[in-house]
Amino acid sequence: MRDTRARSSFGFLARALGACRADRTTGSLYLAGHPGGVVHLREGAVAAVDSPGAPGADALLVRSGRISEPDWSAVLRAGGVPRGIGRAALRLVATMAVQDGAFAIVAGTIDEYAVDPDPLDVPLPVSPGIELDRLLAETARRLDALASLPTAVSPHRERLAAVTGAEPAALSTTRRAIIEGADGRRSARDIAFLLGRNVFPVTVEVSRMVGDGLLTIADGVPGTTTGSLAPLRPRTPETGAAVAVTDPKPPLPRREPGASRAGDDPPRPSGWQVLPRLLNRIRAGPATAPRGDTPHRKGTTHGP
C-alpha cells in the first residue's frame, strides 16, 4: 500500500476489527469518515458492510438486473432466496459486497469509530461471517493493485469525463458503459452505482482508461463523494426475516477536545455518539445525478 493515507485508514480498520474480534463482538461497528460505513459483526466475524462508498449486495442484484424490484420486495417481506439466483451465487454476491465495502471505506479516510452491541438486520448477511484475516488480506491486495497502476484514480474524489474523439464502437461493453456514465460530474464510485457493479473493478478500469486517454479528470468540480445529505440513522427493523446466505442503547460518550491519548498503543479514539444512519439510503445510492458533498467529520487526513 504505497499511499500513506490508505495505509492509515487500513491500519485504523484493522485495529477496530481486531478489538471486535478479541471481544467476539456481535453488533455494528460504525466508522466515521469519508465515505465511512458500518460493519455488521457476528461473534467477531464480518457478516455485512454498508457504506455510501459502495453498492450493497441488494443494489448489485437489482441494479444489474439479476433480480427484479418486485422479487426483492417480496424477499424483504417474507424472507427466503430471490427467484432466478441460486444460493451459491447469492453467497458470492454477498461476499463480494463485503470485500468491496471494506475497500471503499479504507480508500477514503477513517476518523473514529464506535461499537453498538445491538445487531441490526441486514438483507443479505454472509453466514458464517468472513474471518478478519481473510478480509484484511483481500483489502490490502486491492489497495496494492490500485496503487500499482500508472494512473491510479480515487474511487471517491476525481470526477471523470469522456475524451472527445473516443470511438465507443471499438471498446468493450464495460468501457462503453463507463464512458456513457462519465459525464464530468460522476466519480468511479458513482459510475459503479449507476451500473450496479462493484466499486473496485470499476475504479481499476477507470484508472486504466485515464491512462489510455479515454477518460480525463474533470476540472472545476469538487472532489468529494456524492450521496444523500441526510445523516445516517439507526434503521427501523423491516417486516420479514433477513435473508441469511449460508455456506452448503444508550449513546456512547461524545469525545471532548483534547481527550484523545496520542501515546496509546495501539491508538483507539474515545467513543462518540453512535452515528445516526439511514442504511436503506446508503444501499440505494444517489437517487439523482450526483451533486453536492456528503458531510463528514473533520480529521487529520484526507482521502486519496
Phi, psi (degrees; rounded to nearest 5) at 114? -145, 155
What 3-state class would DSSP assign to 114?
A: strand
User: Which amino acid is present at 31?
Assistant: L
C-alpha cell recorded at residue 72: 426483492
Query: Residue 99: what pLDDT?
Result: 97
* Percent of the chain whose pLDDT exceeds 90: 49
Among 17-31, 170-184, 199-213, 268-282, which stretch is predicted with the lowest mean pLDDT? 268-282
Question: Where residue 170 falls among pLDDT bands split at 50, 70, 90?
Answer: confident
Query: Residue 57: what pLDDT?
Result: 87
Question: Where residue 4 falls among pLDDT bands split at 50, 70, 90?
Answer: low
Whole-number Å distance between alpha carbons of 89 and 94: 9
* pTM score, whole prediction: 0.72
Give mean pLDDT, residues 19-25.
Answer: 93
Query: Residue 208: what pLDDT?
Result: 96
Question: Where residue 210 falls among pLDDT bands split at 50, 70, 90?
Answer: very high
Question: Where residue 77 falls among pLDDT bands split at 50, 70, 90?
Answer: confident
Query: Residue 150: what pLDDT?
Result: 93
Helices vs. strands in the chain: H and E counts, helices first:
9, 8
Query: Residue 202: what pLDDT?
Result: 97
Residues 213-252 have pLDDT tens digits of 999 998 754 444 333 222 333 333 344 444 445 443 444 4
296 versus 38: the higher-pLDDT residue is 38
Residues 32-43 have pLDDT tens digits of 999 999 999 999
Contacts 24+ apart (CB under 8 A), 211-216: 211/149, 211/150, 211/151, 213/163, 214/162, 214/163, 214/166, 214/171, 214/175, 214/179, 215/160, 215/161, 215/162, 215/163, 215/178, 215/179, 215/182, 216/160, 216/161, 216/162, 216/163
Give mean pLDDT, residues 68-78.
Answer: 76
208: Cβ–Cβ under 8 A, 6 or more apart, which residues?
Answer: 149, 151
| Whether the predicted pLDDT of 53 surpasses 90 | yes
| Whether the predicted pLDDT of 122 surpasses 70 | yes
Place of cell 479504507: 106
Average pLDDT value for the chain: 75
Question: Where residue 95 falls among pLDDT bands split at 50, 70, 90?
Answer: very high
Query: Residue 108: what pLDDT?
Result: 92
Question: Where residue 63 falls among pLDDT bands split at 50, 70, 90?
Answer: confident
Give mean pLDDT, residues 9-16.
Answer: 92
Query: Residue 290: what pLDDT?
Result: 43
Query: Closest Cα to residue 37, out of 99, 94, 102?
Result: 102
* Percent of the chain whose pLDDT exceeds 70: 68
Query: Closest Cα to residue 76, out of 68, 88, 84?
Result: 68
